[in-house]
């Protein structure tokens, strides 16, 4: 059994670890932005807290972090009730889960079906909520991975733009692991620029994670999703 003093020491050590890791990531963001001739304040850091305890999220909030990302509906719902902030859902969207997601998520990064857009809009109208959305793109069109190819973006963009309760933020992409980073983000940036020509307000690009966020920043990412570089190795649950 761990006594109160030992528990307090563990929590102090954990807070110090998270604080140092967060500062390191923030410093790397600033350097990457400077190298790209960009303003670091234009880049939103989303701390991906999936599988981490709510105590870690509370520490991040105390340290000034305000954007949090979750892939699981249940975790997002529970943690958002405890820790205030802007909550992002970035997991694959299932129609039967949309109402649950819409109850806590402020932004959804992974919409890739018109039917989901239409259903989400109806749910948000009923609850009088406004949700920001990113359309997920796929570079290789692989089934089951999530996202749509560029040729299908226009229809989804129109569906969001014509909705009453959704705000089109931009595009999101997770490059296939076999893609070289620079080539992948070059293609993503080009697709995003062509999309903006049709949807001028969709200026945001959600791209880049713990392993590649600096490259993503160099190619225009406005939202980066970082978990393990801030909170350490994950413990996955079935």
pLDDT at 1: 43
Mean pLDDT of the 90-111 span:
97
- Of 232, 215, 213, the residue nearest 44 (C-alpha): 213
Encode pLDDT of 144-181 as tens digits: 889 999 999 999 999 999 999 999 999 999 999 999 99
pLDDT at 129: 96
Mean pLDDT of the 111-135 span:
98
Encode pLDDT of 2-31 as tens digits: 444 443 555 789 999 999 999 999 999 999
Mean pLDDT of the 19-48 span:
98
Phi, psi of 92 (to 5 degrees): -65, 140
pLDDT at 217: 98
Burial of 36 (0-12, 13-18, 19+ CB in 10 A): middle
Q: What is the mean pLDDT of the chain?
A: 94
Contact 156, 107 (CB under 8 A): no
Encode pLDDT of 66-89 as tens digits: 999 999 999 999 999 999 999 999
Query: What whole-number distance in Å separates Cα of residue 108 and Cα of residue 65?
Result: 19
Contact 79, 49 (CB under 8 A): yes
Query: What whole-number distance in Å separates Cα of residue 54 and Cα of residue 105?
Result: 16
Encode pLDDT of 109-122 as tens digits: 999 999 999 999 99
pLDDT at 2: 40
Mean pLDDT of the 179-197 span:
97
Q: Where are the beta strands (DSSP E) in 124-230?
A: 131-137, 166-173, 204-206, 223-226
pLDDT at 44 over 50: yes
Q: What pTM was estimated for this model as a whole? A: 0.93
pLDDT at 7: 38
Beta bridge partners of 12: none
Q: Which residue segments constitute the domains of the chain, with CATH numbers given? A: 4-231 (3.20.20.10)
Query: What whole-number distance in Å separates Cα of residue 135 and Cα of residue 129?
Result: 19
Query: What whole-number distance in Å separates Cα of residue 198 and Cα of residue 195?
Result: 5
pLDDT at 218 over 80: yes
């Amino acid at each position: 059994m761990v006594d109160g003093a030992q528990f307090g020491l563990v929590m102090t050590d954990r807070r110090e670890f998270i604080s140092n890791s967060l500062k390191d990531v923030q410093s790397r963001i600033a350097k990457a932005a400077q190298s790209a001739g960009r303003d670091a304040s234009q880049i939103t850091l989303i701390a991906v807290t999936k599988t981490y305890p709510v105590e870690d999220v509370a520490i991040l909030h105390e340290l000034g972090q305000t954007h949090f990302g979750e892939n699981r509906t249940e975790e997002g719902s529970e943690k958002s009730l405890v820790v205030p902030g802007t909550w992002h859902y970035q997991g694959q969207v299932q129609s039967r889960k949309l109402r649950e997601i819409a109850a806590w998520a402020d932004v959804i990064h992974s919409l890739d079906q018109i039917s989901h857009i239409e259903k989400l809009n109806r749910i948000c109208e009923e609850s009088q909520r406004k949700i920001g959305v990113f359309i997920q793109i796929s570079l290789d069109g692989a089934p089951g991975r999530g996202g749509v190819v560029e040729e299908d973006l226009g229809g989804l963009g129109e569906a969001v733009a014509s909705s009453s309760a959704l705000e089109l933020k931009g595009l999101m992409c997770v490059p296939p692991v076999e893609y070289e980073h620079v080539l992948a983000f070059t293609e993503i940036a080009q697709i995003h620029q062509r999309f903006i020509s049709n949807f001028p307000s969709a200026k945001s690009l959600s791209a880049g994670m713990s392993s590649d966020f600096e490259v993503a920043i160099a190619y225009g990412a406005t939202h980066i999703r970082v978990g393990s570089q801030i909170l350490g190795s994950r413990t996955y649950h079935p």
